[in-house]
């Protein structure tokens, strides 16, 4: 299939393109390069554009005979979403509506949306979280994603647009080849920040909150390798096309690790002490987010193959090539 990968030059999008190619699909990258890196997708057709540009979208759909769309172009930083909700609702919601409207006009009816565990909010009594857990997001980032999930149901009923939503947890790791990985500027994700201390690029990291109701007082998260996420998307696309059905799935390893446990694992794998400082909690951070991915395993046949050690090993391979 000819698949338009929105945000395809970004972290998850670039890995997605490689997995699509390996699966025999033709990935076309659509990215405004606000956070993406064109050199990550040199082997793919590339369109530099914004989702607000309907004419460019229309031309792209026509030129490349697009048959399905995958969306990875959201703003994703929880803290920033609290400080600047307008940025998040405009990009994560309004521009997605523009994209969906162009899909309908272009008669493209398969859409895969990368959502987030943040739609569940702070649900410690329901951990691990499954797809029936009530969605109660506690920050604009999570709310913007849930709004898109809701409108997808409306578009499905009104226009016949089929969708598959993937709520994944902490995307992490890097491609096994070591030539693409997590490369945000500025970087805010835990594993790469820790590893940047190991390479000497940073002096230390901050632990935001040590008084949560967890065994060591730090937040607990479920980390899932980026390639496992991409493989789930391919399986979801296959089912959606085959059965003409829309659905929502969690993608996670089903095991949570605290911030301090991640630091300890990175120290063991790198052999380098990670300097860290304790700080106050960030607004909008729930204490625990762990996935129940049984539905994806049972229905899609999806199975994550990277454990935490392998996740950090691939991320370490990517990070150290620049600084060691």
> Strand (E) positions, the chain?
2-6, 26-31, 45-48, 68-71, 110-116, 162-168, 170-172, 205-208, 220-225, 247-251, 256-258, 276-279, 288-289
What tokens appear for 162 in the block?
């089929």
Show which residues are catalytic: 141
Burial of 227 (0-12, 13-18, 19+ CB in 10 A): buried
Place of tokens 């698949």: 3
CA-wise closest residue to 16 among 149, 92, 162, 114: 114
Residues in CB range of 268: below 8 A, 6 or more apart: none
Which residues are 247's β-sheet partners?
164
């Amino acid at each position: 299939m000819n698949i338009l990968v929105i945000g395809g030059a970004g972290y998850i999008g670039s890995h997605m393109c490689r997995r699509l190619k390996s699966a025999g699909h033709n990935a076309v990258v659509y990215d405004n390069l606000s956070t993406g890196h064109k050199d990550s997708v040199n082997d793919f057709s590339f369109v530099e554009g914004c989702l607000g540009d309907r004419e460019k979208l229309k031309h792209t759909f026509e030129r490349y005979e697009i048959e399905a769309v995958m969306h990875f172009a959201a703003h994703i930083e929880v803290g920033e979403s609290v400080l600047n909700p307008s940025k998040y609702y405009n990009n994560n919601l309004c521009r997605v509506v523009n994209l969906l409207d162009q899909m309908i006009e272009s008669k493209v009816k398969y859409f895969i949306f990368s959502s987030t565990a943040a739609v569940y909010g702070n649900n410690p009594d329901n951990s691990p979280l499954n797809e029936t857990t009530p969605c109660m997001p506690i920050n604009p980032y999570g709310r913007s994603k849930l709004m898109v999930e809701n409108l997808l149901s409306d578009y499905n009923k009104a226009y016949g647009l089929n969708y598959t939503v993937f709520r994944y947890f902490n995307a992490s790791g890097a491609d096994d080849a070591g030539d693409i990985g997590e490369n945000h500027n500025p970087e805010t994700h835990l594993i790469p920040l820790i590893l940047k201390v190991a390479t000497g690029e940073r002096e230390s990291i901050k632990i935001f909150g040590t008084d949560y109701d967890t065994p060591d007082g730090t937040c607990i998260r479920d980390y899932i390798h980026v390639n496992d996420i991409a493989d789930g998307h391919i399986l979801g696309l296959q089912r959606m096309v085959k059965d003409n059905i829309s659905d929502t799935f969690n993608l996670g390893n089903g095991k949570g690790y605290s911030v301090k446990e991640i630091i300890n694992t990175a120290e063991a794998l790198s052999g380098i002490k990670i300097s860290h400082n304790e700080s106050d909690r960030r607004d909008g951070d729930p204490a625990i987010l762990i996935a129940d991915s049984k539905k994806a395993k049972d229905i899609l046949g999806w199975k994550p193959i990277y454990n935490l050690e392998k996740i950090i090993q691939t991320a370490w391979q990517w990070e150290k090539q620049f600084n060691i």
